[in-house]
Amino acid sequence: MLGASPQGGVVRAAMPYEPHQTGAETLVTAERGRSFRALHRKLEDALATIEQSENVSETLENILDESLRAFHDELGFDGGRIYKREGDDFYLCCGFGKSRQAPVGLRVPRDYVPHRRTLAEGVLVMRSDEPGIDHAFERRIGVESTFAAIAVGAGHSHVIAFSVRGEVREEQILYSLSAMRHVINLKLQQQRVSTMLDEARAIQESLLPTAAPSFAGFELEGRARPTEIVGGDLFDYLPLPGQRLGVAIADATGHGLPSALLARDVITGLRMGASEPLTIERLMERLNEVIHRAALASTFISLFYGELSQDGTVRYCNAGHHAPLLLRSGSFLELDRGGMVLGPIPGSRFESGRVRLVSGDLLLMYTDGLLERENDLGDPFGATRLKQLLLGGPQRTAPETIESVFGAIDEHARGAAQGDDMTIVVVRKL
């Protein structure tokens, strides 16, 4: 690219600056790269040996203890401490190595320069002769020369500090501690998410029935297989006045935590509504309004709800769910009367259907994860295979029916990953 010089002559534009390295400098750079890669591998190995503990402090104690062993020689770490935030203050909660005798509970002065710099910069290395060091304070916690520190956790909830002996490899220490800080924060984040999911799973499991109820003249069984720790499928049995039993199965869009929370709202609303003197149609309309107000606009849930009487009569409403299959004498009846899925459109109206079960009838309710379960060739299990399975072989009990369906789906999938939650509920007239 050409341009005019101040003197009017033509000059060439300056090329981007490329630093020139001598052969010796190139070797040093390559060696530094190999050293950092080796340190990073050792850091990964050290952190990989650490099992997540039940709380953040225990996890950090394990990391600190392992880091002192792993980097005692390479980085000169011979002592370490963990400080925990309580309000606006930090307190020493444990020490390792040469800091093992540090006074637990010691408060760090808020205006202490190394403390403020660690919180501001995230990673810090300070030598004992730098301004702002309080030597009396450092001696109390077992620090005699250089120290390094990182701030970790949500809102810098903890500080991990190391005592460094001998020659200070500052560049390597900063690199290693920066990588360590990143990995620790990821671990703590995963731990928080895992705890949340465990709590969500406990909530969901508490809502799902642990066993089918006894209902004279009938056999019932239900089972759910979530794709993730928690799922968007649900089923439930609801005792009703007049010797009746409510049976429900639902499928929220997607899977995982958002779907599980929506399923929780539905099952709670269904239980509350079923206890009131409402028609099935009105119950579904009220559920639709609640879900529409509470959920994201793109979220919805399908629901099949039926009320079973002792004489075999089933009054039901199908809100956009896969039609349950009623198997009778080698043929199928699909229970599809109802309306659209719950949630997207306020003011939706629903209608109910009615069918009567007779001796030998088998009613299979299921979610679409069954039909959509693919094998490694991308071939879904499908409704045809499901119907052929139900028609084949001797009459099965409700638990045997569920076992045979899941077994056939697993055989079809050939180990391919499950893509959606799968739930089955069976009602058999004895």
Residues sharing a CB contact under 8 Å with residue 72, sequence separation 6 or more, in sequence order: 78
Task: Return the pLDDT at 194.
Answer: 64
- The residue assigned the tokens 């004489």 is 311
* φ, ψ at 333 (rounded to 5°): -120, 130
Q: Are 100 and 116 in contact (CB under 8 A)?
A: no
* Token pair 């981007």 in the structure block, residue: 16
Alpha-helical regions (H) of 208-334: 257-274, 280-294
**Residue located via tokens 């360590």:** 180
Q: Is 59 left (phi over 0), alpha (psi -120 to 50) or beta?
A: alpha
CB atoms inside a 10 Å sphere around CB 85: 18
State residue 5's pLDDT score.
Answer: 35
pLDDT at 306: 97
Q: Output the six-digit token pair for 328.
A: 């009778």
For residues 13 and 305, give the distance between their C-alpha atoms in angstroms, rounded to a whole number: 77
The per-residue pLDDT for 298 is 47
CA distance linking residue 254 with residue 258, whole number of Å: 8
Enclosing H/E stretch for 47: helix 23-48
Distance CA 367, CA 373 (A): 11
Ranges of H-type helices in 73-220: 113-121, 135-140, 170-207
User: Cβ neighbours of residue 285 under 8 Å, at least 6 residues apart?
Assistant: 348, 349, 350
| Residue 326 contacts residue 355 (beta carbons within 8 Å) | yes
Assess contact for 213 and 239: CB atoms under 8 A.
yes
Measured distance CA(424)–CA(11) in Å, rounded:
80
The topology under which CATH files domain 208-429 is Phosphatase 2c; domain 1 (3.60.40)
pLDDT of 29 reads 45
Do 38-199 and 208-429 fold alike per CATH? no
pLDDT at 9: 35
Backbone angles phi, psi at 318, to 5 degrees: -110, 105
**pLDDT tens per residue, the chain (430 residues)?**
333 333 333 333 333 333 444 555 544 444 544 555 555 555 556 555 544 445 666 777 777 777 777 777 778 888 889 999 998 899 999 998 888 888 999 999 889 999 999 999 999 999 888 999 998 998 888 888 888 999 988 888 899 999 888 887 788 888 778 877 877 776 776 666 666 666 666 666 676 888 999 999 999 999 999 886 667 788 999 999 999 999 999 988 765 666 777 777 888 888 888 778 889 999 999 999 888 876 554 468 899 999 999 999 999 999 999 999 999 999 999 999 999 999 888 899 999 999 999 999 999 999 999 999 999 999 999 999 999 999 986 789 999 999 999 999 999 999 888 988 899 999 999 9
Report pLDDT for 417: 86
Q: Are 302 and 267 in contact (CB under 8 A)?
A: no
Fold of the 38-199 domain: Beta-Lactamase (3.30.450)
- Closest by alpha carbon to 198, among 260, 132, 265, 126? 260
- Residue of 305, 314, 309 lying closest to 356 (CA atoms): 314
Give me the pLDDT at residue 283, please: 94
CB atoms closer than 10 angstroms to residue 89: 12
Q: Domain spans of the chain?
A: 38-199, 208-429
